[in-house]
Structure 1
C-alpha cells in the first residue's frame, strides 16, 4: 500500500469485541489472565497478549504497527516522548566504556543528552567535524557501537547522506540510528537507504496538532546482531534479567525492538499513555495531506525571503544553489521540508526584533505543528551551547527557525513581511541614534 493508505489502515481493521472501526482507547492498567498457565505463557513471551500497560497496550500496539509500516520496519516501540525514544534507542546498544559517533548538526536537547548526560553513565559521544561520511568514519574505533544522525537537521536544515553513513557504519559492523522527525516517512524512509533504527518525536509532524507528546523507535529488522555478537552480546546471549531469554533466537529480525521493550520500557517505565496514542493516530491519518501543504507553503515563503532585501541570508535546501539540494533530490524526491532558517539584517538584535513582532506565527520551541511556528534558537533551544558549538549545529546569533504550517501562504507571508518591517524600522533607528545595548553588540 501507499503511505497515504498505510497511515489510515495499517495495524487495525476493526475491534474484535465490538466491530468498532475507530481504534478504541484501552484505558486500563492491567489485563486479566485466564489462569496461572496463561499468565506464565504471557510472561514467557510464548503467546501474544498484554500483561501491564507499562509494557504494552492495545491502542499503543496499533500506533506501533502503523508507524513501523510507514517506515518499512519490522517492529516499533512507543514511548512517552521523542527524547525518551532517543535515549532508549542509543542505550539499547551502548554500555560503559563504549562510544557513539554523531553528526554535529543536532537539536539542542539531543546535544545535551550526548555531550553531558551520557558521559555520566560512562558512555562517550564523539561529534564529527561535519555530517560527511568520511568525517564520521575517522572517529570509529573498536569501542564504537553506533552512528547517529538526523535525516534533516534541526535547525541546521542539512540533509544526511543516509546511504553513505550506513555504508560507513556497516563496514565497521555497527548500526546507523536516524532521527526522522523532520522528514517523516512521507518524504523519506531511512530504512530503505540502509538505516537500521529510526526514531521519531511523534509530537511534531506525525501528530501534527501541537497537543500530544509521544515518541517511537522503529526496528528496521536488517542488522545482523548475532553475526556481531562480540560487539553486541546483549542480543545473542541469555538475558539474566529476563529468565535467560535470547532475543535473536526468540524474536529473530525484531530482536532489537524486543530488547528495547523488555529492558528499557519495562524497567524504566516511560510509557506512552493510550489516550496519547489515540490522539497521535488521529494526526497520522492526515500526515500525508498535511506534508503536501507544508512543503508547498514552505517553498513560497522561502522564495519571498530570498527576494527580500531586509533578509541577510536564507538556508532552504529546496533551492538549487543550496549545498544539500542534491541530497534533497536523492532522498526527498526533490521536495524540501518545511523547516528553514534565515537571518534578519541586524544580527542578534534584528533577529529578536523580528521574532517579537510576529503576530500570526507562534513563538514556540515546537515544530511540525499545523500552525506556523518560529524560534530564535540562540536565545532558546541552543542557548546552553557555547557559540562555536552553536555554529556547528547551524545556529548563528541572528538565526530564525521557521516551521511553516498549513495556513494560507499569503497570510504567512504577510505576517513575515510585517515583522521584517518592524525589525528594519527599529534597526534603522538604532543605527541613526548610535545606541546599542552592550549585550546585543557582543552577540552580533
Structure 2
C-alpha cells in the first residue's frame, strides 16, 4: 500500500474562520478555545466553553451551518462554536495535516470516502456508546448507520451520519422539449440527447463531463450504470471489477463525449465550476448529485429543469455506485468532547436535520426528518429516496473501508483520467492500473484484518 502523510469577527453568533487562517490552526494548539496538540488524549471537559467545528464542504453549506450553529448557541448559551470552512476538495489533506502537526477541531464534517483513512490514523473518537445513551438512539436510519460503520473499516462507529446523497441526472426540460427529446431515463436516451443538443457553432452542448477534482466517482457511476456489473469485487473479493471489459467499453463511450458533446473547459472542471457552467449556459445535461439542487433552483427556477435518478440500463434495471454518506465526528484530541457531542446531538435532531437537509437537498439520516413534507416537494430528493429503496436498483458498494480509497480515487488517478479524456491514455490501460492499485490495497486490508 502507498504510504500517506497526510477574517473572522467575534460576535454572539458563531465565529467564522476562513481558509486563510486555517493553516494557523493546523500547526498550533488551540488551548481553551479548541483542541489539544497532535498526539494528545483530549478529555470530556465540562460541557461548556468554545468548540471548533470544521465544515468539510464550505462552498455550498456554509450558510446553513452558520444558521444551525446560531440556533444551537441559543439553546446552549454556555457553548460557543467556532466555525471553520474547508473546501470539499481540501478536506482530506487538511485533516491529514492536522493529524500530523496538531490543531484538529473538536468536531468536524467527514464524508464516508475519507472516514477509513482518518480512522486508520487513530484520530477519531468512538461514538457507538455515546449514541446508545443519547436521545438520538433509534432516531437515525439503520441502513445509514450500518453503511457508516462499514465505511470506517471496523465494527466501531466513528461518525454520526447526517445525510445521504445520490447521483442525479439533471436535464434542461426546456431544451429537451424544443428538440423533441424524451427525458434521459435510459443510457440510450442519454447519448442520443448528448448528440442532438450539441451545436458547437452556437456554443451549445448536450452534456458537461467532470474532468477535474472528483472525476473518478462520477466516471465509476457512468461505467457501472452502463455495464450493469453489480459488484465492485469478484466472488472472493480479491479482484476488482473496475477493469472488466464491459466497464472498459462503457468508459470508452463515456469519455468519447469530451469536446464532441461537451465544452473543452470540462477537462479541469470540479463540481462547483461544472454546476455554474450548466446553470448559466446552454448545456442539456449534468451528472452530479442532490447537493447542487438548490443551486439550480436559484439559477433556473423549477420550470426549466428536472433531476432524475441515474439512467437505467437496457434491461430496465438501474445500477449505480454508492454515494458517500456525510456525517459528524469527534476527534480524539478534543479537550471538550462533552460539548462537541452536544453539538452533534443537536445537529442530528429532527428539527436541525430537516433544516440542514432541505437546504442541501439531501436525504436526512434522521428518520423523522426524512418524512417531512419538503422531501415530497423536492422531486430529486423524493425520486432518489425511491430509487435507493427500489428492487429495480442495484447499489455497487465502493470500498470506502480501504484507508487508501480516498487517495486512490482522487489524487492518484484524477490526472490519469484527464489523459483518457485527451486520448493520451486508453481506457483499458487506465482501468488496469486502477485495478492494480485497488487489488493491492484490498490485499493489504485483508491481511491486517484477518
Same-fold call, TM > 0.5? Answer: no
Q: Which has the higher contact order (CA 8 A, sep 6+)?
A: 2
With the length of structure 2 as denominator, give the TM-score of the two structures: 0.27
With the length of structure 1 as denominator, give the TM-score of the two structures: 0.27
